[in-house]
Structure 1
Amino acid sequence: MGPVVQTRGLSKRFGGQTVLDGIDLSVPRGSVFGFLGPNGSGKTTTIRILLGLASATSGDVEVLGRKIPKFLPEVLPRVGALVEGPGFYPFLSGRANLHRLDAADRFVDPSTRRARTAQALERVGLSQAANKKVGAYSLGMKQRLGIANALLTHRDLIVLDEPTNGLDPQGTREVRHLVHSLTEEGTTVFVSSHLLAEVEQICSHVAVLRAGKLVAQGELSELRAAGQTRVEVLTPDGEDCRQVLVRLGLIPQEPPTTPHTPSGSDVVVAAPLPKDFLPETIVAALVAAGVRVKGFTVDQVGLEELFVSLTGEGFDVVQ
C-alpha cells in the first residue's frame, strides 16, 4: 500500500547532456498527481522510463510496488497511458482502432471486447463518432480516443501526458470530470502538463521539474500554504497608500498580472504579507492616514506564480 510510483536518484543522460538529475518522485495511491515543468524540462523522458519505453542511466524505479524494468510484463497490464499524443490507423474507424488495440492485449477476455470498447467510447464522449474514420477526426477527438484506449480495462494507474491538448473548453471540462471519476474508482492518475489552470483544478498533489531537477513536491494545498500571501489595495490614492505600507514595514510591488480591475483614477497597490501580520492592521493604518480604500483583498499565491518562482521566468530549456 505504498506509493504507486517511486523513484530514487533517477538520472538520464544522452551523451554528455544530463536530462534527468537525481529525481526522487513519490506518487501517493489514489491521488491525482500533477507533473509540472517547462517544455523540455524532462517530464516526458521521466514518463517513458516509468513505462519501460526508455532506460534510466542510474537510479531505481518502482511502479505499483514492482521494480522497473525487471517486472515490466507484470506491471504494464495494470497501467493505462497516453504519451506524446495518440497514434491510430487513419483509415479505420475509432471503434475499429480500439478493437485492434484491445485484441493486442493478451490479458483481457475477447468475449467482452465489444462491450468494453463501447463503454470506453461513451466515457470520452465519442459514441456518436465511433464509426467515423479516425483520419477525419479533429485533434481533440484523437486525444479523446487515446484516453479511451487507456480506459479499455480497469487500471490501477493511468498516465496522461498533456491530456487536454487540442480539446475545446467543453472537452477539457469532460476530461476533468473523467479524472475525478477514475480516482473514485480507486485509480491513481498521473498527469503531465504545462496548463497550470487545469492542474490547479484537478490535482491533489504536484511535483515541479526544472531543467531535469525536482524543485518541489507535495500536496498542492501544502505548497500553496508555504508560498507567499499578498495584499492588494484598490484606491485612488496610490502614492499615499504606498507610503503607509512602507511605514508598516511592507514592500510595495508591481501590481499582479491579473489585478482587480480598477476604474477611473483607481489603482491597485500590492505588497507581500509576512506571516503573522494581521491584515486589519493595514486597513486601520490606511484609514487613519486618510487613504480612500475601495477594495482590500488578501490573496494566496496561485499555482502559476508558484510555478514561476520555482522554475524562473527565464529558465533554460533542455533540448
Structure 2
Amino acid sequence: MTAAPPAIGRDRAEPAIQTTGLTKVFGRQRAVDSLDLAVPRGAVFGFLGPNGSGKTTTIRLLLGLAAATSGEVRMLGEPMPAALRSVLPRVGALVEGPAIYPFLSGRANLLRLDAADRHAPAATRRTRVDAALDRVGLSHAAEKKAHAYSLGMKQRLGIANALLRPRELLILDEPSNGLDPQGTREVRHLIRSLADDGTTVFVSSHLLSEIEQLCSHVAVMSAGRLVAQGTLDELRHGRDRRITVRTPDPVAAAGVLTALGLAVDEPGTAASDEGTVTAALVEGVLAESVTAALVAAEVRVRGIAVAGETLEERFVALTGEGFDVAG
C-alpha cells in the first residue's frame, strides 16, 4: 500500500505535509527511520501507531521543535525548517497536551498566549479570542478558571489556542488522550467541523476507534518506520478481501466470477458449497461490478457479502503489536 509520494508542484495538489527519508537518531536508537509521508490537502489524516512508535517525535520534527538527523520535510509547499517563519503562522498545533495557566480563566489564557505570538495583531486580539472560544464551544465557560475545566474542555482550550488565527493545517498529538466518552465526542465533532471548512487536520493517535470514525486517510508507524499509508478504506481492506454470492445458480455464478478474473473456490470446499460461490477479490474489481455482471448474465442472486480483515487485524498484521481499541 505504501507508495512513493506524488511529485512536488506549487499548487493546491501538493501535499500539505511531505517528508522524504526523514530520520531522527538518539544515540543508538532510530526513533524515526527513513519516513516518506504524504498528507493530502483537505484530508483528516490519522497518524496511527502504538505508544513509542515515533509519532510524537515525527510531529516535533515537522514543527521544527527537534532537528532531523537526515531527510527532508515540506509543509504547505515550503521546505522546513528553512521556511519555518513563514509556514508556522499558517499552522496550528497541539503537542503533548495543552499548556495552560490553571489559575487564569479560559479567556485570560488565550489572551496571554496570543500576546506571546509576535505575528498576532493586538488590535483584533479580543475579537479573535472570543471567536476561538465560540468555535470550540467554550464561550459559556470563558470566565471559569482553567483548573476547573474537564479534560475535554482543556483539550478544546488548547485547540482554541491553535485557532486564534486562520490555519491551513492543524496538527494534533493524541487529542483524545485521557478523555471520557463525552469529551472524546466533543473533540471529534470539532475536528470534523474544521475539516468541513477546508482545514487539513493531522491527528496522531493510538486509538483505533477514533481513527475509524474520524479520518479519511491513515498512516501506520511501527518502531519508527512507516509500514502503510493510504485512504482508510485501503488500509481496512488492503488484502484478503473475499466476495460470497448466495444463488440457486452456483455454476453459472462461478462462470461469471471467473470471467471477471476472480479465483473461485472449488465446489465442496469449506468456503464454497451448493447455493454459494466464494472468490478472492482482486484490485480494480468492485462488488458493484460483480453484481452488475451477475444480473446481466441472468444469474439469480439471493445475496452478496464482502469480507476482509478488520482494521484491528490489519494493524496487528502490519505491526505485530498489541493495540488500544478503546474509544
Q: After TM superposition, is the score higher than 0.5? A: yes
1:25-36, aligned counterparts within 5 Å? 25-36=37-48
Is 1:171 matched with 2:192?
no
Partner letter of residue 302 of structure 1?
A: T
2:314 paired with 1:302: no
Is 1:274 equivalent to 2:280 in the alignment?
yes
1:127 counterpart = 2:131: no
SS at match of 2:118: coil
Find the counterpart in structure 2 of residue 267 from structure 1: none
Q: SS state of the match for residue 61, structure 1?
A: strand
Contact 1:117 1:152 (8 Å CA) reproduced: yes
Q: Does structure 1 conserve the Cα–Cα contact (< 8 Å) formed by 2:243 and 2:281?
A: no
- Distance in structure 2 (CA, Å) of the matches to 1:299 and 1:176: 28
Judge conservation of contact 2:153–2:183 (CA < 8 Å) in 1.
Answer: no
Give yes or no for contact 1:230–1:301 (8 Å, CA) kept in 2.
no
User: What SS does the aligned partner of 1:56 have?
Assistant: coil
Q: Is the 8 A contact 2:18 2:75 kept in 1?
A: yes
Q: How does 1:1-319 map to 2 (within 5 A)?
A: 1=11, 2-229=14-241, 247-248=268-269, 250=271, 274-275=280-281, 298-313=306-321
Instruction: Tell me: CA distance 1:29–1:296, structure 2 relative to 1, closer, same or farther (3 Å).
Output: closer
What is the deviation of 1:227?
2.9
TM-score (structure 2 length as normaliser) = 0.75
Q: Indicate the percent of aligned positions where both proteins have the same amino acid.
A: 66
Distance apart, 1:205 and its partner CA: 0.7
Contact in 2 for aligned 1:36/1:194 (Cα 8 Å): yes
Displacement of 1:170 in angstroms is 2.9
Q: Is the 8 A contact 1:37 1:208 kept in 2?
A: yes
Question: Which stretch shifts more, 112-121 or 47-56?
Answer: 112-121
Higher mean alpha-carbon deviation, 178-187 vs 142-151, is at 178-187
Q: Is the 8 A contact 1:116 1:152 kept in 2?
A: yes
| In 2, Cα distance between equivalents of 1:43 and 1:23 | 11
Cα deviation digits, residues 77-100 of structure 1 (max 9, x gap): 000000001111112111100001
Q: Quick check: 1:4–1:188 contact (8 Å CA) kept in 2? A: yes
Structure 2 stretches of 5 or more lacking a match? Answer: 1-10, 245-265, 273-277, 288-302
Q: Report the TM-score, using the length of structure 1 for normalisation.
A: 0.77
Deviation at 1:165, TM superposition (A): 2.0
> How far does the alpha carbon of each residue in 1:100-158 deviate from its partner, in whole angstroms, 9 at most, with x for none?
11112222322221121112112222222211111222322211111111111110100
Structure 2: distance between partners of 1:228 and 1:173:
32
Residue identity matched to 1:126? L
Answer yes or no: is the 8 Å Cα contact 2:219–2:228 preserved in 1.
Answer: yes
Letter in 2 for 1:221: D
Alignment deviations for residues 40-97 of structure 1 (CA, whole Å, 9 cap, x no partner): 0000000000000001000011111111111111111000000001111112111100
**Structure-1 separation of matches of 2:322 and 2:177:** 24
What CA deviation, in whole Å up to 9, does each residue of 1:180-200 have, x standing for no partner?
Answer: 221222210000001111111
Q: Is the 8 A contact 1:140 1:165 kept in 2?
A: no
Distance 1:220-1:124 versus aligned 2 partners, 3 A rule: same
Cα deviation digits, residues 235-257 of structure 1 (max 9, x gap): xxxxxxxxxx9941659xxxxxx
Instruction: Give the conservation status (yes or no) of the 8 Å contact 2:152–2:187.
Output: no
Distance 1:155 1:250 in 2: 52
